[in-house]
């Protein structure tokens, strides 16, 4: 799958097959996250991989909409070091999700609504915080077949030269 196809066909998924993600696939996913650009090349993201069902369940308790996390074969917490910004974390997360999808692994980004809980659960230093958690795994045979919501047309997103500018 080429990069464009991976980007335009990727959809968030909350239903996973119990099949584990092989180490070599996980390594490529993590490498894609590591290679994301960052502001001034500060490289502020670190990743905590959770494969244990108990650890995934404990971290899921830190998010209000994280019920799917214990069922995912793995989760990756994107952690920001001091000075790291949400944009840097988003770039790393998106790289990992697109790389995963190119490998046939689906994902769902999950917010941690209780940051102190997430920090404590992962035993992070006090000045680090979880930006996002990616639940990942191979798609379930059923549960992922719901139609996606229609997207706005490109003309609804793009403005030219100024807000009310439309391409002639």
Lookup: tokens for 9: 């066909």
Is 72 a member of any domain? yes
CB atoms inside a 10 Å sphere around CB 150: 6
Contact 84, 42 (CB under 8 A): yes
Q: What's this model's pTM, rounded to 2 decimal places?
A: 0.90
Measure the N-to-C terminal CA separation of the chain; round to a whole number of Å.
34
Is 12 a member of any domain? yes
Number of alpha helices (DSSP H) and beta strands (DSSP E) in the chain: 5, 4
> Environment class of residue 145 by beta-carbon count within 10 Å: exposed (0-12), middle (13-18) or buried (19+)?
exposed
Question: Pick from 126, 6, 16, 146: which is nearest to 72 by CA?
Answer: 16
Is 163 a member of any domain? no
Side by side, which strands form the sheet with 45-50? Answer: 45-50, 74-80, 129-137, 106-110
CATH number at residue 90: 3.40.109.10
Q: How many domains does the chain have?
A: 1
Is 161 a member of any domain? no
pLDDT along the chain (168 residues), means of 10: 85 90 98 95 96 97 96 97 95 97 96 97 97 96 66 83 72
Lookup: tokens for 50: 């959770």
Is 167 a member of any domain? no
Is 88 a member of any domain? yes
Is 117 a member of any domain? yes
Question: Pick from 48, 67, 62: which is nearest to 128 by CA?
Answer: 48
Q: What whole-number distance in Å separates Cα of residue 79 and Cα of residue 133?
A: 9
Is 168 a member of any domain? no
pLDDT of residue 120: 97
Print the domain residue range for 104.
3-156
pLDDT of residue 93: 97
């Amino acid at each position: 799958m080429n990069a464009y196809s991976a980007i335009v066909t990727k959809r968030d998924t909350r239903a996973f097959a119990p099949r584990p993600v092989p180490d070599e696939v996980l390594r490529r996913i993590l490498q894609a996250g590591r290679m994301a650009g960052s502001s001034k090349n500060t490289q502020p993201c670190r990743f905590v991989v959770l494969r244990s069902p108990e650890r995934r369940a404990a971290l899921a308790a830190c998010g209000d909409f994280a019920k799917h996390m214990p069922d995912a074969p793995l989760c990756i917490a994107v952690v920001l070091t001091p000075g790291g910004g949400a944009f840097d974390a988003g770039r790393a997360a998106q790289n990992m999700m697109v790389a995963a999808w190119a490998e046939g692994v689906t994902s769902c980004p999950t917010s941690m609504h209780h940051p102190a809980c997430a920090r404590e659960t992962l035993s992070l230093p006090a000045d680090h915080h979880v930006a996002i958690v990616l639940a990942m795994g191979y798609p379930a045979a059923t549960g992922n077949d719901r139609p996606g919501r229609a997207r706005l047309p490109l003309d609804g997103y793009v403005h030219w030269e100024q807000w009310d500018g439309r391409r002639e």
